[in-house]
Amino acid sequence: MNTNRVAIVTGGSRGIGRAVALHLAATGHPVVLAYAGNTAAAEATVGDIEAAGGRATAVRADVADEHAVAALFDTTEEQYGGVDVVVHAAGRMHLSPIADLDLDELDAMHRTNIRGTVVVAQQAARRLRPGGALVTFSTSQVELRHPTYGAYIASKSAVEGLTLVLARELRGRDVTVNAVAPGPTATDLFLDGKDDATLDRLAKLAPLERIGTPEEVAEVVGFLASAAGHWVNGQVVRANGGIA
């Protein structure tokens, strides 16, 4: 397995993606983080990585644009020599009862979550070096099936199916493909607009009776991306404290 491992993290400027970028950088990976539009957040993440002694580059890229994603991989190969780990954390969520669902919101969400995953997975399948790993992101809502999550669950169920098929298509390549499905996780996006009573109710869903942290999810991703986790392949890992 290549010891000079280079990582791409989409959605790497905020939330779980940022935690993953920081974790991989701390474990020795040069990291190229892709972001959709928040340049300040992306540059802040790069600054934090570099301040801790790591190496990182931020690249703006729409994950659903095949040309932008190809350029992202080109930049990574040109700057660091290759690609060994791809973590596709970029995603979009819109909640609504199915009867009231805005179909434009559905299209936008599926463009990012389904098309974006296909586009990133295509480049990963073509370019990951032997010993490499692709980690996609689903959600524990696929099993929980809470009201208003229907369209989001539909998009993430597609991600799970794609991930499991790709793991089998890469037979003989020495590349693993897995998905991580977090439960409630204390990101700014998750916490925004929720009062203490709501957060307490959500915390009680898991037998561990708390909400997870982005860093805990990043640790799971780091394991799947590492030599220690290379025997785990074609799986959906539900990192949620036992909620489902």
Residue 128 lies inside a defined structural domain of this protein = yes
Q: What is the pLDDT of residues 117-127, one digit of tens each?
A: 999 999 999 99
- In whole angstroms, give the CA distance from residue 121 to residue 140: 21
Mean pLDDT of 96-105: 97
pLDDT at residue number 183: 93
Looking at the domain assignment, is residue 26 inside a domain? Answer: yes
The structural domain count of the chain equals 1
Instruction: Look at residue 3 in the predicted model and tell me its pLDDT.
Output: 56
Domain annotation covers residue 242: no
- Of 37 and 159, more confident: 159
Classify residue 22: in a domain, yes or no: yes
117 part of a folded domain: yes
Can you tell me the mean pLDDT for 47-56? 97
Asked whether residue 180 is domain-assigned, the answer is: yes
Identify whether 200 is part of a domain.
yes
Which residue out of 35, 80, 149, 152 is catalytically annotated? 152
Whether 35 is a known active-site residue: answer no
DSSP 99: G
* Residue-wise pLDDT tens digits, 149-193: 999 999 999 999 999 999 999 999 999 999 999 999 998 878 888
CATH number of the domain to which 26 belongs: 3.40.50.720
Residue 2 belongs to a domain: no
Residue 1 — pLDDT band, cuts 50, 70, 90? very low
What is the chain's alpha carbon radius of gyration, rounded to the nearest angstrom? 17
Using one digit for the tens of pLDDT, what is the confidence trace for 59-70?
999 999 999 999
Among 102, 116, 26, residue whose Cα is nearest residue 64: 116
Hey, what's the torsion of the CAs at 103, 163, 87, 137, to 10 degrees? 50
Show the domain range for 43: 7-237
User: What confidence tier does 131 reach under pLDDT thresholds 50, 70, 90?
Assistant: very high
Q: At residue 67, what are phi and psi to the nearest 5 degrees? A: -75, -40
One-letter amino acid identity for 11? G
